[in-house]
Amino acid sequence: MIDADIVVIGAGPAGSIAAKHAALRGAKVILIDKKSEIGTPKRCAEGVYDPGLRLLGIEPNPRWIAQTIYGGVLHSPDGNSIQFDEELLPVCGYVLERKVFDKYMAMDAARAGAEIMIKTFVSDLKREGDGFILDCDSFGEKFQIRAKIVIGADGPESTIGIKAGLNKHNSNKYMLSCAQYEMCNVELPRDDLIHIFLADENAEGGYAWIFTKGNGVANVGLGISSNIKDLDALECLDNFVKSCPYTKNAQPVELNVGPDSLEGLKDNIYGDNIMLVGDAAGQIDPIEGGGILLGMYGGMVAGNVAASAIKQGDYSADKLKEYYERFNQLTLNLVPKLTVVRDVVQSLNGDEFSNLIDAASQIDLANASTKDYLKVLFKISPRTSLKFTKLIKVFI
């Protein structure tokens, strides 16, 4: 039997930063990952923005940055587009090399004092006294770990929350089926802008994207609603690649497939002796599914709260509730607000997405007010204007 104060299950960015902050505050931490190589396979388009990293105390490092991004282009179904670049956006972002970034974050946790176990699967956890016993399997060897607090960071298909009794099941209501190629010979007008294709005909119930990594390399992917039967995400992606002018000569060098949740924050992300972080907690943007930074905010807060709980000898839900409250404080309750926006966005059809882009293309975005935009949008489509007004009210 191995004893630990805190066991973090899942060495993605959220889990690693949780382990790091708990270890920095003196807790005995074990960070477990079921994969033989942390960071593989990559699970997303790899985008983050600069201020978000700095809020976490992370200085951007060229070792794990593939490309600095200064904006993006939104494409509507009717072929129109609108560009947001450095004239409109005051901050830059980055497309990461997740395989490098994730290892870097895990190494940070190790340097802080956490023990890392790779290729280790947690088959079960059960309560014993004021803590959990974890049944583990590593390289064919079975053993147990006794932990006072467990932090579940095991991704969108999380089973830890279910086994601990926090959640009955993972909802498929807002799940996207995603497929993504990393490709070379991608021909973009600018290497420092990402491209989003709204309501693309090949991405029913979702969207497509091109996240440039520089030098003709990019992540090219799409997500389709998992509720639409008889649609295969990879087949849809192949159709998109064939039809998109930027990828007509592109060749794949890597393929990643998997689910992406748009559910938003789960109802129960903490309880006696347990917290969930990252995708396991639904700490994602429910509009587009991105969650690197939100998950890391959750991990940072959870790690600090867990270490505080260990020092106080109080691992109860009443104590760990502090994690939930501090996460919402740090993120200004952003995730619940974005779930409202998600519902409005998902109610838009292809024509309405086109109306939004058409209106934006008719004004000077750098100097126009929201009122100016609404006037133009109302002339194009009163119905779309009404829906856009609902989006604005979320943030007022």
pLDDT for position 169: 67
Q: What is the pLDDT of residues 104-129, one digit of tens each?
A: 999 999 999 999 999 999 999 999 99
DSSP state of 313: T
Phi-psi map region of 128: left, alpha, beta (phi>0 left; psi -120 to 50 alpha): beta
Q: What is the pLDDT of residues 187-241, one digit of tens each?
A: 999 999 999 999 888 887 789 999 999 999 999 999 998 877 778 999 999 999 9
- Which domains, ranges and CATH numbers included, belong to the chain? 2-46+97-170+264-333 (3.50.50.60), 175-261 (3.30.9.10), 347-394 (no CATH)
pTM of the model: 0.94
Segment (H or E) for 372: helix 370-380
For the residues of 206-234, what is the DSSP string, one character each? SEEEEEEEETTEEEEEEEEETTSTT--HH
* CA 224 to chain CA mean position, Å: 16
Using alpha carbons, select from 283, 290, 331, 296 the residue that is nearest to residue 11.
296
pLDDT for position 365: 87
The number of CA neighbours under 13 Å toward the Cβ of 266 is 28
Size of the chain in residues = 396
Residue ranges in the chain modelled with pLDDT below 70: 169-172, 396
